[in-house]
Amino acid sequence: MRTLEKLTRRIFLKGSLWACALFFWNLLRGSSKAEELHTYEGTNFIGKTREGKFKNFYINFWKPMRRIDGKAWKLKITGLCDVPQSFSLDQLKSFNTISQSSRMKCVECWSARATWSGFPVSELEQIVRPQPEAKGILFHCGDEYKEYLTREEVNQERVLLVHSMNGEPLTDAHGYPLRLIAPSKYGYKNPKAILKMEYVSEHQAGTWSKIGPYSPDGTILPGTDHPLEFNKEPRRISGGEITDY
């Protein structure tokens, strides 16, 4: 009986210690989460949708995320650059704006066209000055999605960091306040709601490439497309950016 009491007390003490450890761990995690969340406002979440007004341009987020408060939001540039810093949305909008019409091709077969306005990554790189060993950029997004593109890829012609779509500021669903547009790559290589761009020295797999059958390179391959605005009627595509329609 005495042995059983001892055992029960030991289990109770051990359990209490674990509970305390867990409590403090969550407390610490909670405070860092709170720091991240200060850029969000309200309780509305956005996630995957293909209904209503999104019927002609599907939306797919990695995880449902809170709307971003553009006034508090700043784009952080970190990693292997000489002058890491943060930029407000107004600062980014002061760069020379380029507008282009390009088609977003999803790896899930649909596509849709829009006019995007923004600036080339080189505008930022003139200020933050990436170091020679920086081979690529890891994009950290509001929905915890991560995507990687090489510096060569992000500096290609027609690759833009955009803040507007069809003449209006990006909506939350389309990646407010800032997203990347790389027209020769599948949609998953066009990260939305970017919080941070980190210059890194080695190739890294993005979220989808890590868990799904999606290639790390993400170049649009020759095959068949189903454009939403043409009622998904199949069209042959030659690979790379779709320019024919």
Q: Which is nearer to other proteins, 47 or 239 (CB)?
A: 239
Tokens of 10: 């030991």
Binding to other proteins (CB under 8 A): which residues in 138-197? 186
Whole-angstrom distance, CA of residue 147 vs CA of residue 144 = 10
Q: Which is nearer to other proteins, 167 or 213 (CB)?
A: 213
Q: Which of residues 107, 137, 154, 160 is near other proteins by CB under 8 A?
A: 107
Tokens of 181: 């547009």
Element (H, E) at 122: helix 121-128
| Least distance from other proteins to the Cβ atom of residue 127, Å | 28
Q: Which of residues 65, 138, 237, 242 is near other proteins by CB under 8 A?
A: 237
Q: Which of residues 7, 19, 109, 211 is near other proteins by CB under 8 A?
A: 109
Q: Which of 122, 150, 129 is nearest to 85 (CA)?
A: 129
Cis-peptide into 177, omega within 30 deg: yes
Tokens of 81: 């650059």
Sign of CA dihedral 99, 101, 107, 111: positive
Q: Does 204 bind other proteins (CB under 8 A)?
A: no
Q: Which of 219, 193, 215 is nearest to 63 (CA)?
A: 193
Helix (H, G, I), strand (E, B) or coil at 185: strand
Binding to other proteins (CB under 8 A): which residues in 13-72? none
Q: Which is nearer to other proteins, 94 or 243 (CB)?
A: 243
Q: Does 228 bind other proteins (CB under 8 A)?
A: no
The DSSP output letter for 13 is H
Q: Does 112 bind other proteins (CB under 8 A)?
A: no
Q: Which of residues 97, 164, 166, 240 is near other proteins by CB under 8 A?
A: 240
Q: Which of residues 218, 227, 228, 242 is near other proteins by CB under 8 A?
A: 218
**DSSP string for 77-103:** EEESBSS-EEEEHHHHHTSPPEEEEEE
Task: Report whether 237 contacts 186 (CB < 8 A).
Answer: no
Q: Which is nearer to other proteins, 40 or 214 (CB)?
A: 214
Q: Which of residues 21, 223, 232, 245 is near other proteins by CB under 8 A?
A: 223
Q: Which is nearer to other proteins, 17 or 205 (CB)?
A: 205
Q: Which of residues 48, 217, 232, 245 is near other proteins by CB under 8 A?
A: 217
Residues of the shown chain interacting with other proteins in the complex, contacts defined by CB under 8 A: 107, 109, 186, 213-219, 221-225, 234, 236-240
